[in-house]
A and B are shown apart, each in its own frame.
Chain A
């Protein structure tokens, strides 16, 4: 079974600044994927970024990038040039062949 831990229940960032959200995971799967999902106040879950574990290159999507450290089982999300619309709950998730796990989430506040 997999476990996903997000150690920061809440984070805040000033608009236009950069913030990093932490995530660690544990898995016995040899092939797995990692995700960051965003859940705004509307509660609609939105995929932010995805990382295949077999790829060494860190995934990027516009202002969002990850720092994937496979040996350390760490998968942090960096948000650059933060915008007010980035305010949301962020969930880290890990999936393998037969299992998908979510962390407890980090609530991100963006200050104008």
Chain B
């Protein structure tokens, strides 16, 4: 059963705590991406990785961190430095590196910080 898995679907945290969102894929895609979606807005790119052990900042990387130790996994950590972390987070993959290719999306994680 190929696809992109994001867990959990809903996540609740207290303010001041770091939290890590999981993204796993078994599509053998090279590139992986993290987006944030807020109400009334489109997706905004947080980080992306085109190859293992390498990643690049997107438009809104402040307060977030990532790692890419395996091709299949691209976890996102929302740190306490992120001022407004409550949002819907989407992970995506692309078969080859380069943002020109269409992206395939996971089901998303809704993070609520209180």
Contact = CB atoms under 8 A, between A and B. Distances in A.
Chain A complexes with chain B: yes
A43 to B, nearest CB: 5
A104 B40 contact: yes
Contacts, number: 54
B90 to A, nearest CB: 7
A79 B82 CA distance: 39
Chain B, interface size: which category?
A: 20 to 34
A97 B45 contact: no
Interface string A83-112: 000000001010111111111110000000
Nearest to B35: A102
B60 interface: no
B99 interface: yes
B103 to A, nearest CB: 8
Interface stretch (A13-21, A28-36, A61-69, A70-78): A28-36
Interface stretch (B18-26, B61-69, B72-80, B104-112): B104-112
A35 B102 CA distance: 8
B99 A43 contact: no
A33 B100 contact: yes
Interface of B: 33, 40-45, 88, 90, 92, 98-105, 107-108
